[in-house]
Amino acid sequence: MAQFQQDKGKLDLTPKRFNMWLFLFTSFMFFAALTSGFIVYIGGKGHGLNIKMPAAFMYSTAIIMISSITVFLASTAAKKSDVAKQRAFLWLTLLLGVGFFAMQIYAWYVLSFEMHAFLSNPNASISFVYVFSLMHLIHILAGLVLLIISLVSTYRKTPQVLNLFRMEMSSIFWHFVDIIWIYLYVFLLLNQN
Amino acid sequence: MSTLSVHDHGVAHHDHDHEHHHNESFWTKYIFSQDHKMIARQFLITGIVMAVIAMILSILFRIQLAYPEKSFPLMETLLGRFAPGGRLDTNFYLSLVTIHGTIMVFFVLTAGLSGTFSNLLIPYQLGARDMASPFMNMLSYWLFFVASVIMMASFFVEKGPAGPGWTIYPPLSALPKAMPGSGMGMTLWLISMTLFVASQLMGGINYVSTILNMRTKGMDLWKMPLTIWAFFLTAILGILAFPVLVAGVVLLIFDRSFGTSFYLSDIVIQGQVMPMEGGSPILFQHLFWFLGHPEVYIVIMPALGISSEVIATNSRKPIFGYHAMVYSLIGITVLSFIVWGHHMFVTGMNPFLGGVFMITTLIIAVPSAVKTFNYLATLWRGNIQFTPAMLFAIGLVSFFISGGITGIFLGNAALDINLHDTYFVVAHFHLVMGSAAIFGMLAGVYHWFPKMFGRMMDEKLGYLHFWLTFIGAYLVFFPMHFMGLDGVPRRYYSFTEIESLKQWVSVNTFITWAAIFAALAQVAFLFNFFYSMFFGKKAPQNPWNSTTLEWTTPVEHIHGNWPGEIPTVYRWPYDYSKPGHDEDFIPQTVPFSQTLSSNLPHDFEDHASHDNHEWVNTQKSNEEVK
């Protein structure tokens, strides 16, 4: 038994929480690299982002900001062990997440079919808009998976520690992808002319 | 994430079984193992296999360089369409150079080195049962394995493996039709490297998290061995740098497959004007070298950490300047992010910017020199034990000096105009990054082999291996400096085609024979390694009389590393030959209360605990009585 005296570490979720934060760093570096690439690109050849961002991006930004609030409400409910409320807000967040996803794809539709700003474009600053949003959508997908995992554990007999941990993981990640999108959108707005 | 926690949650149920009846099957023990020791060994053996492959590739292109006019029927038998008529195909030559570089830099010296020793030593030397997330750790190895398989698989596609060099500069890498090596082989390269980066990120996240969260009682940051400091900072470099490579590769994939022009402009293939325009290949170089430069420190820093440990242990002296060692590692880590431009001096960069990158580059010489001097000062008047590990660690110092000095030449923006892309560069990085890091890795293998496999390696074969490799490496890389100073460009297929290069064929022949000689020397290592694994002498618990925690674990590996409680740490890891103590080493687990004859007031400077205070007070009152 002595052996496991210090093995409380096995259930100690701190290192895993820490892993999540480190992962956010890697993601952040990824988007920082993409946006730096954009700056280097427009600095070099005199190609600017000569289109206005479609309004769909503004709607999607609104959607994801609301979803950040709902995921926050879900975690506060989880902390109060109010499973029904947590479940409801998680469902809402999930729905908003899917809505965001759809809205981004609609934005691509507007970009290509209405504005004729295509992905393969001699002006790669427009291609960057697609790459930014696509790479961000991949993160959204991961976020949705995390949300689904938290949601599933509310339907199962999950110990409250784990339930809270999962809730925390998904909400950290969801807030992060939210912030990344706002960063990307503001970045694009500042660079459009 | 959450599935991971469920997985570990199960471990808590083992509470009752003290004897460790883990009903491990062959699969969970040897294949999909989540145990850091097994994963370390998996990384090491995969790394060794990849290193042997990459070495054979280098011998193939060395033969071409030595005998550009000769045909070797055997080569056609072995390589088939890649060596028609017994002479290497020109495109396959480029593929060989590319894959040799890729495997050595990434698969051997990044994954093989960090993967092995970070996994082995972080839990061992810090006093942890395992990594922060054993599952992620397992995933890290298997992604690395799949990446290796895919990289190797590219030898079996019709047009051969990727050929644009390990730096995969566009447009060669961005246009599948540019040359045979830009086709399917390049695609496989990109897939393989994406998996590789995922593997490294998982590993790196785990290392950092484990080091910051799971140290045993008493192990504060300033009591960590220098190996751990090196792995820690290496992992941070990886976490910050690898995502940038992914960003560069994502854009490259878009250029290759979706017709964008991030990197492409004014392309004409076989007389046909391509639609891409407006892109900038320099953008890729910025993104690539933002990873690429930290990458060379990802390669060398673990080797430096390992040699700090090996040199201190085998000099039977405390490492000279422990704090200086840590601060110089931190200095290298920070500086490595602001020097990438020195790879791009001749891209038409603004000379002012070139000057900035030159200054930052030359500043890196300062922490590097601090480390070198500290190694030498540690050796100075030490009671040196010339174990094979020690020889390899000293070899690292030698290569680090001789290769590092040429770095000062290359870091100079004006000299680089002449030296860029010549054999001088090849000589420089093969010594300072290639040989030095490989020697650090081998030092680690010889030193921790008893810990990994519970048996000793043969010393005599170790000495043979060291001397042949050490001499061989210098014979191979030293002459290249002169070629480079004469302006001989790297990656050229045939020196007889160009008048000014013809005179260097004789040197090439010499280098090739030296390379073959050094390659054969590795047989001594391979035999020693695999033979000793099964038939070596049984290892004692602490064969090198070392102070660090890993030597307090039993020789037989057990799940959870320590059978009882995890030991507490009381002192720094370099108490060798402490005056007043009866033995020439004091393990980290020995409290100061047991070493009254050797304690110094200095020992209690940072973290005076209760009894330490008492000790200091007694000392003081004794002084007063006197």
Nearest CA in chain B to A3: B564
Assess B337–A contact: CB distance below 8 Å, yes or no.
Answer: no
Chain A residues close to B265, C-beta within 8 Å: 45
- pLDDT at site B23: 63
Chain B closest CA to A117's CA: distance in Å? Answer: 12
* Region for B130 from its dihedrals, namely left if φ exceeds 0, alpha if ψ lies in -120 to 50, beta otherwise: beta
- Residue B10 banded pLDDT, cuts 50, 70, 90: very low
Q: Packing angle between helix B184-213 and helix A14-45, nearest 10 degrees?
A: 140
Residue from A7, A22, A157 whose CB has the most chain B CBs within 10 Å, to mutate = A22
Assess B6–A contact: CB distance below 8 Å, yes or no.
Answer: yes
Domain with CATH 1.20.210.10 in chain B: 33-535
- pLDDT at site A51: 87
Per-residue pLDDT at B155 exceeds 50: yes
CB contact under 8 A, B239 and A26: yes
Nearest CA in chain B to A131: B251
- Could you tell me the maximum CA-CA distance found in chain B, to the nearest angstrom? 97
Span B131-138, average pLDDT: 92
Assess B553–A contact: CB distance below 8 Å, yes or no.
Answer: no
Burial grade of B460 (CB within 10 A; 0-12, 13-18, 19 or more): exposed
Chain A residues close to B278, C-beta within 8 Å: 45, 47, 122-124
**Beta pairing partners, B203:** none
CB contact under 8 A, B5 and A13: yes
Burial grade of A50 (CB within 10 A; 0-12, 13-18, 19 or more): exposed
CB contact under 8 A, B2 and A6: no
Instruction: List C-alpha distances in Å: B325 to B303, B374, B604.
Output: 13, 7, 21
Kindly report, residue by residue over B94-106, the tens digit of the pLDDT: 999 999 999 999 9
Reported for B78-86, long-range contacts at CB under 8 A and 24+ positions apart, including other chains, are B82/B160
CB contact under 8 A, B258 and A11: no
Which CATH superfamily, name and number, covers B33-535? Cytochrome c oxidase-like, subunit I domain (1.20.210.10)
- pLDDT at site B28: 80
* Cβ pair B304, B331 in contact under 8 A: no
Kindly report, residue by residue over B278-297, the tens digit of the pLDDT: 888 999 999 999 999 999 99
Phi, psi (deg, nearest 5) at residue A87: -60, -45
- pLDDT at site B267: 86
- Tell me, rounded to whole angstroms, the distance of Cα A150 from its chain centroid: 16
- For the record, the structure tokens of B57 come out as 């590739």
Chain B residues close to A26, C-beta within 8 Å: 201, 205, 239-240, 242-243
CB contact under 8 A, A2 and B133: no
CB contact under 8 A, A165 and B5: yes
Chain A closest CA to B228's CA: distance in Å? Answer: 17
Selected residue with higher pLDDT from B452 and A193: B452
Handedness of CA B288, B290, B293, B296 (dihedral sign): negative
> Quick one: which H or E segment has residue B273?
strand B272-273
Within 10 A of B380 (CB to CB), how many other CB atoms are there?
Answer: 11
Span B200-229, average pLDDT: 94
Per-residue pLDDT at B46 exceeds 90: yes
- Looking up tokens 């700003």, which residue turns up? A117
Chain B closest CA to A149's CA: distance in Å? Answer: 7
Nearest CA in chain A to B279: A124
Q: What is the C-alpha to C-alpha distance for residues A6 and B339, in angstroms, rounded to an integer?
A: 44
> Quick one: which H or E segment has residue B270?
none
CB contact under 8 A, A30 and B1: no
| Exposure class string for A141-150: b at 16+ Cβ within 10 A, else e | ebbbebbebb
CA end-to-end distance (rounded Å), chain A: 68
Q: How many helices (H) and strands (E) does chain B have?
A: 19, 2
Kindly report, residue by residue over B509-543, the tens digit of the pLDDT: 999 999 999 999 999 999 999 999 999 999 999 99
What is the share, in percent, of chain B residues with pLDDT greater than 70? 93
**Beta pairing partners, A49:** A192
Assess B28–A contact: CB distance below 8 Å, yes or no.
Answer: no
- For the record, the structure tokens of B582 come out as 């009866």
Q: What is the C-alpha to C-alpha distance for residues B56 and B526, in angstroms, rounded to an integer?
A: 14
Nearest CA in chain A to B258: A120
Nearest CA in chain B to A1: B18
Per-residue pLDDT at B119 exceeds 80: yes
CB contact under 8 A, B261 and A150: no
Stretch 290-319 of chain B: residues touching chain A, C-beta under 8 Å: 290
- pLDDT at site B612: 61
Amino acid symbol at B406: T
Assess B625–A contact: CB distance below 8 Å, yes or no.
Answer: no
- The tens place of each residue's pLDDT in chain A, 193 residues long, gives 333 334 544 567 888 889 999 999 999 999 999 999 999 888 876 778 888 899 999 999 999 999 999 999 999 999 999 999 999 999 999 999 999 999 999 999 999 999 888 888 888 889 999 999 999 999 999 999 999 999 999 998 888 888 999 999 999 999 999 999 999 999 999 998 7
Handedness of CA B85, B90, B95, B96 (dihedral sign): positive
CB contact under 8 A, A19 and B6: no
Chain B closest CA to A40's CA: distance in Å? Answer: 7
Kindly report, residue by residue over B218-250, the tens digit of the pLDDT: 999 999 999 999 999 999 999 999 999 999 999
Kindly report, residue by residue over B250-278, the tens digit of the pLDDT: 999 999 999 888 999 888 888 888 888 88
CB contact under 8 A, A135 and B206: no
> Quick one: which H or E segment has residue B297?
helix B281-315
- Tell me, rounded to whole angstroms, the distance of Cα B1 from its chain centroid: 28
- For the record, the structure tokens of B23 come out as 């009903």
Nearest CA in chain B to A13: B5
- pLDDT at site B602: 80
Q: What is the C-alpha to C-alpha distance for residues A46 and B278, in angstroms, rounded to an integer?
A: 9
Chain B residues close to A132, C-beta within 8 Å: none
**Mean pLDDT score across all residues of chain B:** 91
* Cβ pair B413, B351 in contact under 8 A: yes
- Residue B5 banded pLDDT, cuts 50, 70, 90: very low
Kindly report, residue by residue over B385-411, the tens digit of the pLDDT: 999 999 999 999 999 999 999 999 999
Chain B residues close to A120, C-beta within 8 Å: 258-261
Assess B565–A contact: CB distance below 8 Å, yes or no.
Answer: yes
Selected residue with higher pLDDT from B325 and B1: B325
CB contact under 8 A, B254 and A30: no
Q: What is the C-alpha to C-alpha distance for residues B574 and B572, in angstroms, rounded to an integer?
A: 6
Chain A residues close to B174, C-beta within 8 Å: none
- pLDDT at site B14: 41
Amino acid symbol at B207: Y
- Residue B2 banded pLDDT, cuts 50, 70, 90: very low
Reported for A171-174, long-range contacts at CB under 8 A and 24+ positions apart, including other chains, are A171/A71, A171/A72, A171/A74, A171/A75, A172/A20, A172/A21, A172/A24, A173/A20, A173/A24, A173/A142, A173/A143, A173/A146, A174/A67, A174/A68, A174/A71, A174/A93, A174/A97, A174/A143, A174/A146, A174/A147
* Cβ pair B213, B123 in contact under 8 A: no
ipTM: 0.91
Per-residue pLDDT at B168 exceeds 60: yes
Instruction: List C-alpha distances in Å: A77 to A127, A154, A164, A173, A174.
Output: 41, 12, 10, 18, 16
CB contact under 8 A, A30 and B8: no
Residue from B126, B260, B347 whose CB has the most chain A CBs within 10 Å, to mutate = B260
Chain B residues close to A9, C-beta within 8 Å: 128-129, 214
- pLDDT at site A120: 84
Amino acid symbol at B11: V
CB contact under 8 A, B246 and A6: no
Residue from A19, A45, A145 whose CB has the most chain B CBs within 10 Å, to mutate = A19
Nearest CA in chain B to A167: B2
Return the domain boundaries, chain A: 52-191
* Cβ pair B441, B491 in contact under 8 A: no
CB pairs under 8 A between A and B: 168
Question: pTM here?
Answer: 0.91
Q: What is the DSSP string of B150-191?
A: HHHHGGGSTT-B--STTTT-TTTTT-TTSSGGGSHHHHHHHH
Chain B closest CA to A86's CA: distance in Å? Answer: 17
- pLDDT at site B626: 58
Instruction: List C-alpha distances in Å: B407 to B84, B356, B430, B441.
Output: 39, 16, 11, 22
Assess B133–A contact: CB distance below 8 Å, yes or no.
Answer: yes
Chain A residues close to B239, C-beta within 8 Å: 22, 25-26, 29
DSSP code at position B217: T
Q: What is the C-alpha to C-alpha distance for residues B52 and B426, in angstroms, rounded to an integer?
A: 20
CB contact under 8 A, B15 and A6: no
Chain A closest CA to B508's CA: distance in Å? Answer: 40
Span B434-453, average pLDDT: 96
Nearest CA in chain B to A123: B278
Residue among B98, B57, B292, B289 at smallest CA distance from B182: B98
Per-residue pLDDT at B609 exceeds 60: no
Q: Which of A96-100, B339-343, B417-421, B599-603 has the lowest mean pLDDT?
A: B599-603
Preceding amide of B489 cis, omega within 30: no
A52-191: what fold? Four Helix Bundle (Hemerythrin (Met), subunit A) (1.20.120)
In this complex, the residue of A32, A40, A127 whose CB is nearest that of residue B260 is: A127
Q: What is the C-alpha to C-alpha distance for residues B51 and B45, in angstroms, rounded to an integer?
A: 10
- pLDDT at site B270: 82
Reported for B411-417, long-range contacts at CB under 8 A and 24+ positions apart, including other chains, are B411/B339, B411/B342, B411/B358, B411/B361, B411/B362, B411/B364, B411/B365, B412/B358, B412/B362, B413/B342, B413/B345, B413/B351, B413/B354, B413/B355, B413/B357, B413/B358, B416/B342, B416/B345, B416/B346, B417/B345, B417/B346
Within 10 A of B478 (CB to CB), how many other CB atoms are there?
Answer: 14
Assess B216–A contact: CB distance below 8 Å, yes or no.
Answer: yes
Q: Packing angle between helix B2-9 and helix A160-191, nearest 10 degrees?
A: 160
CB contact under 8 A, B287 and A120: no
Per-residue pLDDT at B608 exceeds 90: no
* Cβ pair A147, A169 in contact under 8 A: no
Selected residue with higher pLDDT from B582 and B147: B147
Chain B residues close to A128, C-beta within 8 Å: 262
Assess B11–A contact: CB distance below 8 Å, yes or no.
Answer: yes
Nearest CA in chain B to A36: B287
CB contact under 8 A, B239 and A25: yes
